[in-house]
Amino acid sequence: MDEMKPTLPPGLDSALNDFYTAPQPSPDFADRLERQLLAQFPASPGQVRRIGNFPNDKWRNLMQTLRTRPALVLLFALLALALLTGAAYAIGRLSGYIPGFGFTGDTGAALTLLEPVEITHEGIILRILQATSDPERFSVTVEQIGQVDATSDFIDPFASVFLPDDKKIEFRQSSSDREDNRLVTVFEFAPLPSGTGELTLRYEIIDRDQGVLWQAELLLRLRPLRGDEIIPLPAQETWQPISSKSQGGLRLVLENVAAASDKTILQVAMRFDQPDTNLNNDWNVLLKDNQGQSYPLTLVMSDSNNLVKTYETIPFKGGELLTLSLTSFPDPVNLPLSQDFWDDAPAFTFNPGLNPQVGQTWQLDKTLQAGDFNLKITQAALTAPGVLVISLQSEPKITAAMFRSEKASGAGGDIPGQEGIIAATLYFDSLPTEPFEIYLMRVYYTAQGEWNIPWQAPAAPLGVQVGGTATPTSTQSIFITPTPAFSDPAWLELIRLNESFDLPFQQGPGWIRHVTETETFPRPDQTFPPPYIKSEQWLEIDENGYVIRTLHTDYDSAGNILQQSVTVGDYFVNFTVGDSGYLSGRRYRFSSSSLLQDFNAALEYNTIVTIEEILCEGGEPCYQITFLETFGAAVQNPGETRTLSGWARQVWVDKASGKTLQTRTLWRFEDGTEQIEYTQTLLSLERLPAPPNKVTEILDKVAVP
């Protein structure tokens, strides 16, 4: 599947950092995010077009893994961050919640690790952070510190579990979280036989081409869980799941609730009215009371199918009237769904004739009924050797379709066309010259609505405190400002100029209002971001100059809110995405520029830097700083007619004040031309004694754990 290899050039960390500023500046956020994106999503947004080549009997298994349609880098970032902590679990009759493991149906049969397990082998440290067993599954969390020497980028951890009689336990799935030199992986297996007291875990580091590079075995001993290691369900006879109304074939369900003295655990699920239906986007939930106050929801578990999520929130007094709402970025009321038709796929017969030619078009009049969908096949066209494009007319909610054929080697969908027309592609080694069947495999559509669950909170019991689920940061450490790793006098002078500009804004107490506008040039398939975004950020500064609260809001050109997030201390809540949790635990001061980090990175990666003195648009003297990176080899992205030779980032700084006026990112092509990706312009930056009431009203409604 060569067309699904990563072709996104490096350096998008700066673009992400500028384009969607994190609730607080973290110097390692962008680099970490880029690595996580590449690890979780090996294909760049907009690149997954062709699926193949593969044997027909592998079609279904492969297609079930390709549920997410091309989207914006930011959306992939949100997906990556949401999936990194995933651990799957079954849903059944439940009796309690085990932190780090999930809800279990039989707490009396649950086992956990008897003693810590750690080994050091060939320069790598392995630790078993958690091992838990119940009648539904066995789960083990392994921390790996250190890496093997390898030339491949496709290295994965794998684990096997063996009983004392050498019987192997069935492996189910795994999920990993990698940061710097540390890798944490959660492995799930089938349930252990009753009475299992010890087992052997074989941990392997595998190269997809070379096989096993490193291997070690660890002996694990298990013991029954104690009562103080389990959060029981609320004291009621039977917990009944609470569901929202079904809209577009989708329901939000509050599956289970467990209340401890210091926290409340919620298990929330997406449920579909029809089988083989999927939400092709990440999702989250918001929790508010009847006064509009937002409660913190920290994601602590997520299943591998993106259907069930477990959140931690604060303890309740009992009886609070709450509403749990589904949210999804960028549009929570228009959700992208798809339905597969594996077992009952409608089909039509296509006759290409004895001598099909590139450029030939066949007029068709075929109607397919798939579930609740009606699609009319209007034509097929051979647009290139082996590339058959099928055009359809459909109802407005249908956005794309995908077909399959035993004669085809691959398939694709979501091709831009005329209004009311959608198109899909089949790929052939050579188009057959005899009639053959084409099956409708998948329909993409939009579900419109709002998914809300009104419910009453259970009271927090006394004396029920169980080990952590999330890992909150109780105190914030001081953020250490990066120091210059360079000695170039021109670079140092620009940093001095920028720091002198920021200094008055770092004096507290008070407020800062920071407003920028961003212009982008979206691709034809890109639904977010829009061509224009106005971002307004309010920051509260304490007497020592540190940021203590922020409100960040993005608006479109019509003034509609695209997304809004709040930080209070080290805790953040994104009201649009539904994400929340703790940040790095470091206090920081306001900075209007990332030049210091840019210069340090340029030195590390040998990026070409030029500094020119020019007149900016207003006629004032400015510095224009250009960071230029040239690729070792030309990059050809699918769907693009030109090859990329590099990228550039440009920053304009007022020569007199040190104010950063504008930032721009652009691609450079082999033919010498350039294409601007986005431009961010400073509109306003001011200190104020207090913000408008609407700002403090939003901030005051955020409950922090």
pLDDT of residue 479: 57
Residues 122-134 pLDDT 10s: 889 999 999 999 8
Strand partners, 310: 267, 301
Cβ atoms 88, 188 nearer than 8 A: yes
8 A C-beta contact, residue 259 and residue 333: no
**Nearest to residue 203, comparing CAs of 309, 131, 96?**
131
Class of domain 477-700: mainly beta
Distances (CA, A) of 286 to 292, 325, 449: 11, 5, 16
pLDDT band at 151 (very low <50, low <70, confident <90, very high): low
Supply the pLDDT for residue 535: 95
pLDDT of 347 strictly over 70? yes
3-state SS of 307-322?
CEEEEEECCCCCCCEE
pLDDT at 676 over 80: yes
Q: CA-CA distance, 266 to 414, in Å (whole number)?
A: 36
Q: Give the amino acid at 506.
A: Q
- Report how far apart, in Å, the C-alpha atoms of 608 and of each of 34, 244, 496, 629, 630 are: 21, 55, 21, 6, 9
Query: Could you tell me if 10 and 636 are in contact, meaning their C-beta atoms sit under 8 angstroms apart?
Result: no
For residue 529, is the peptide bond before it cis, meaning its omega torsion is within 30 degrees of 0?
yes
The model carries a pTM of 0.66
Question: What fold characterizes domain 111-224?
Answer: Immunoglobulin-like (2.60.40)
CATH of domain 339-448: 2.60.40
Q: How many residues are there in the chain? A: 705
The residues, ordered by sequence, that sit 6+ positions from 354 with a Cβ below 8 Å of its Cβ are 433
Is the pLDDT at 22 greater than 70, yes or no? no
Q: What is the pLDDT averaged over residues 141-163?
A: 85
Residue 416's pLDDT band, with cuts at 50, 70 and 90, is low
pLDDT of residue 236: 56
Looking up tokens 């001993």 gives: 221
Q: Which residue has the higher pLDDT, 228 or 565?
A: 565
* First-residue to last-residue Cα distance in the chain: 46
Position 55 confidence tier, pLDDT thresholds 50, 70, 90 = very low
**571 vs 296: CA distance, rounded Å:** 9
3-state secondary structure 276-303: CEEECCCCEEEEEECCCCEECCEEEEEC
Domain ranges of the chain: 2-83, 111-224, 339-448, 477-700
Residue among 219, 304, 308 nearest 265 (CA): 308
Query: Is the backbone peptide bond immediately before 489 cis, with ω within 30 degrees of 0?
Result: no
CA distance readout (Å), 410 to 282, 370, 382, 468, 673: 26, 21, 15, 47, 34
Q: What mean pLDDT do residues 362-387 have?
A: 93
- Write the pLDDT tens digit of every residue in 262-288: 889 999 999 999 999 999 888 999 999
User: Which of 171-175, 301-305, 418-422, 690-694 has the weakest average pLDDT?
Assistant: 418-422
Whether 339-448 and 111-224 are alike in CATH topology: the answer is yes
Q: How far apart are the C-alpha atoms of 464 and 470, rounded to whole Å?
A: 17
pLDDT: which is higher, 412 or 537:
537
d(CA 167, CA 169): 7
The tokens describing 355, both together, are 């001598």
Q: What is the pLDDT of residue 141?
A: 93
Average pLDDT over residues 73-83: 32
